Amino acid sequence: MAEAANLLRHQTSPYLLQHADNPVHWRPWGQAALAEAAETDKPILLSIGYAACHWCHVMAHESFEDPDTAALMNTLFVSIKVDREERPDIDHLYMSALHGLGEQGGWPLTMFLAPDGAPFWGGTYFPPTPRWGRPSFSQVLQGVAAAWRERDTMVTQNTVALRRMLERQSAVQGGELPTPTHLDAVGAALLRITDPDQGGVKGAPKFPNPPIFRFLWQNAFRTGAPAGQDALHLLLQRMSQGGIYDHLGGGYARYATDAIWLVPHFEKMLYDNAQILELLAFAHAHRPDPLYAARAAETVGWMIRDMTAAEVDGRAAFAASEDADSEGEEGRFYVWTEAEVDLLLGTDAAAFKHAYDVTAEGNWEGHTILRRVTQSGSVAEETGLARCREVLFAARAKRVRPGRDDKVLADWNGLAIAALARAAVVFGHPEWLTRAEAAHDFILANMTAPDGRAQHAWRLGRVTAAGLLDDQAAMARAALALFEATGAARYLAEAARFADAALSFFADGQGGFYTSASDATDVPLARPRTAHDNATPAANGLLAEVFARLWHLTGDTAWREHAEALLRAFMGNHDHLAQMPTLLAAADLLEAGTTVVVVGPFVVSPPPLAGGGWGEGLVPGSDQSFSRADPSPHPPPARGGGESLLTLLTVAVAAPDPATIVLQVQATDALPPSHPAYGKGNDPAAFVCRGNVCSLPVADPVTLAEMLHGRAPPT
């Protein structure tokens, strides 16, 4: 029997440690807690949240810190606390169960389970006293415990029904490969829900929804119709001037509670900012805008300044999130009064207040959330506003900061690495690429298992959660982004290794992939399996993109076969396709991706490639060989080859169409005869290849850029 005490003190998760002093006898998720419930015949109270969650804090203060409520919990339940960011597989399982009960999801997630982990009832936040038509949390505890003791039909029927529902959700629903007709239908459906005035999805609250807008963006290149591009430009412009953006410190909050991007839920998540940074890069490459360049630089500045996690051996990855609350109040760190602004800015205050919506009454609960409400002015005016922002930023730095969750998550870091690699090229910041490589190397050195898997979470010098499919897919995609940006062989090798790990430990045997590994011992009921995107892209969608890119880069037909099998695995229900934009974008990449072969003397000329695929011997453009059995890292080759050649390479990597793949080679006769660019010539140039047709050699960067702004057939 576990001790009658709170056991969270032994954990490293900042969220779990926030609850380590509760009078509740919390247990971490695992077999020991499930066994205790079975031994005592008590139901499980499962509470899932995360460190930056405002309503999680509220429920903790109201209920979990209350001795009387804690006593009820300790008497009637085995109480388990889960950090959803450490265990997204567990969170997905029970959030799906809550949806199965007809309830709207959210955090804190409060679920009641049988000792074997089968859910039978739940909700989200429960107040300490009855209000808003909700019973008090104490009433809920007593009612659920009584239902369990009496084996009420609610318990017996719901456990069976929800178990079956979860099994159905995880079951294979295969079909044929997606077609342009499917992509057209989903693109039209998603465009119908966009807000033509404020950008984003219609209504409130407003989330950035990067997977949706990345699909619409890519789909516009496929169709040639600009609506998807316009939707992304509008989203970025509205968000980047609204209150959801931190105009002093950089970075975007998780969502806005209103329909005009004014009032954020103030927490900042690494995954949101990584995806938005990538979208800013795509949009700027398509239609350069000083606003995009500024927001990208400020957001990266926030990532490096405030989100760099613990350094090990000179390398550091990125932390997970910053809290919404400080000093017990949501948004306290970020908001201002007119009097504060007047005092700090003096004679400059009037211009700043006019530009950033600062008024005596404020725009939110008597305070002002800064948002830009005027158009850009003259150089002198903008310089003055920048000086004002610096003054306010320095003053804000003296306030009590929101809490930071400094654990390192491999999947979120993978999103950040890929975004930094692209943004470094688009915005001309090579130091961002260096920072992306450092984060990548941190994951490799500290969070990679001997069997090749990326582990999920790390903090205080140790791995705290085993690898999930999301980690393999996101890190493989990040390595491919670094490979295309640098030409370094090791990144292609590492991408293949992570993809192989997904195949070895997560494959369902029917083309798709489970979220949890085959050797996971603490996932009850059905292993989650989904391609539905949420705030982050679904791992199955990312992995389909990885397989497709590996096919285009290496010519190894096995990667294409894996991609096609994965796509088929989720095509059985066309009604769900609009929830899978990342998967559909991968289908477009596989069939209609543009490969830009950049040919030239990249310092070291490798010998001709051997084998049937153009990635089986030496990596084009690199001085290092690799095999999947030899993933040891090598330093990237020195760059060279002349200014015009490097400009061609930069233009290719910075293409605005996400379905663009960049392959560096010393000479086209180093490619196998099956490659459409084989034997096209060895002078420094680029070849734009679509399908089995390549363009004539392109030596002019302007011409290459024009060719990559659309998908016209190569000429």
Do 61 and 116 reside in the same domain of the chain? yes
For the stretch 320-371, pLDDT in tens is: 999 998 988 999 999 999 999 999 999 999 999 999 999 999 999 999 999 9
Asked if residue 699 is part of any domain, the answer here is yes
The 3-class secondary structure across 525-592, one letter per residue, is: CCCCCCCCCCCCCCHHHHHHHHHHHHHHHHCCHHHHHHHHHHHHHCCCCHHHHHHCHHHHHHHHHHHH
Report the CATH number at residue 28. Answer: 3.40.30.10
Residues 6+ positions from 466 with CB-CB distance below 8 Å: 453, 455, 456, 517, 520
User: Residues 411-426: what's their mean pLDDT?
Assistant: 98
Residues 13 and 145 in one domain: yes
Instruction: Please tell me whether residues 571 and 611 are part of one structural domain.
Output: no
Average pLDDT in the 549-572 region? 95
HSE at residue 21, side-chain half, CA atoms within 13 A, is 3
Measured distance CA(269)–CA(289) in Å, rounded = 25
Q: Is 641 left (phi over 0), alpha (psi -120 to 50) or beta?
A: left
- Token pair, residue 382, equals 């903008």
Structure confidence at residue 52 as a pLDDT band (50, 70, 90): confident
458 strand-pairing partners: 408, 463
Is pLDDT above 60 for 693? yes
Q: Are 403 and 322 in contact (CB under 8 A)?
A: yes
* In-domain check, residue 425: no
What residues contact 376, with CB distance under 8 A and at least 6 apart? 290, 291, 382
Residue 692 counted as domain residue: yes
Name the percent of the chain lying above pLDDT 90. 80
Cβ count within 10 A of residue 574 = 12
Domain membership flag for residue 459: yes
89-103, 157-171, 256-270: least confident range = 157-171
* Distance separating alpha carbons of residues 251 and 236, to the nearest angstrom: 13
CATH of the domain at 452: 1.50.10.20
563 shares a domain with 490: yes
Q: Is there a single domain that holds both residue 574 and residue 597?
A: no
- Give the pLDDT of residue 611: 31
- Res 636 pLDDT > 70: no
pLDDT confidence of 672, banded at 50, 70, 90?
A: confident
Q: What range does the domain containing 713 cover?
A: 593-715
Q: What is the pLDDT of residue 678?
A: 86
The number of domains in the chain is 4
For residues 14 and 66, membership in a common domain is answered with: yes
Q: State whether 18 and 164 are in the same domain.
A: yes
**Whole-number Å distance between alpha carbons of 241 and 335:** 16
End position of a domain, from candidates 552, 578, 604: 578
User: pLDDT tens across 452-511, in order?
Assistant: 999 999 999 999 999 999 999 999 999 999 999 999 989 999 999 999 999 999 999 999
pLDDT the model gives residue 623: 30
Same domain? 697 vs 646 = yes
Which tokens sit at 190? 């998603």
Report which of residues 632 and 204 the model is more confident about.
Answer: 204
pLDDT digits (tens, 9 = 90+) for 373-416: 999 999 999 999 999 999 999 999 999 999 999 999 999 999 99
Q: Is 498 a domain residue? A: yes
Which residue among 169, 191, 220 closes a domain?
A: 169
Structure tokens at 139: 């009433």
Using CA atoms, how far apart are residues 678 and 694, in angstroms rounded to an integer?
10
Residue 26 lies in a domain: yes
Domain boundary among 353, 376, 396: 396
Over the stretch 613-626, which tens digit does the pLDDT of each residue have?
433 322 333 332 22
Of 96, 105, 60, 538, whose CA–CA distance to 323 is shortest?
60
Do 569 and 174 form a contact (C-beta atoms < 8 A)?
A: yes
Same domain, 122 and 72: yes
Decide if pLDDT at 640 tops 90: no
Q: What is the mean pLDDT of the chain?
A: 91
**Per-residue pLDDT tens over the stretch 425-443:** 999 999 999 999 999 999 9
Which of 71, 72, 58 lies closest to 145, judged by CA? 72
Residues 15 and 163 in one domain: yes
Amino acid 602: pLDDT: 64
State the average pLDDT over residues 204-223. 97
Q: How many whole angstroms separate alpha carbon 586 and alpha carbon 381?
A: 45
CA nearest neighbour of 603 among 584, 628, 617, 621? 621
Strands 404-405 and 329-330, bridge-based pairing:
unpaired
- Rounded CA separation 487/416 (Å): 19
Q: Grade residue 68 by pLDDT with cuts at 50, 70 and 90.
A: very high
pTM assigned to the model: 0.92
> Predicted confidence band at 666 (pLDDT cuts at 50, 70, 90)?
confident
* CB contact set of 428 (below 8 Å; sequence gap of 6+): none
Question: What pLDDT is stored for residue 670 in this prediction?
Answer: 78
- Mind listing the pLDDT tens digit for each residue in 92-113? 999 999 999 888 889 999 999 9
What is the tens place of the pLDDT at every residue in 519-540?
A: 998 998 888 999 999 999 999 9
Q: For residue 715, which amino acid is it?
A: T
Does 440 map to a domain? no
Beta bridge partners of 48: 82, 109
Q: What's the chain's length in residues?
A: 715
Asked if residue 664 and residue 554 are part of one domain, the reply reads no
Q: Are residues 597 and 538 in the same domain?
A: no
Look at residue 278 and tell me if it is in a domain. no
pLDDT of residue 638: 35
CA atoms of 507 and 529, how far apart (whole Å): 10
Residue 642 binned pLDDT confidence (cut-offs 50, 70, 90): low
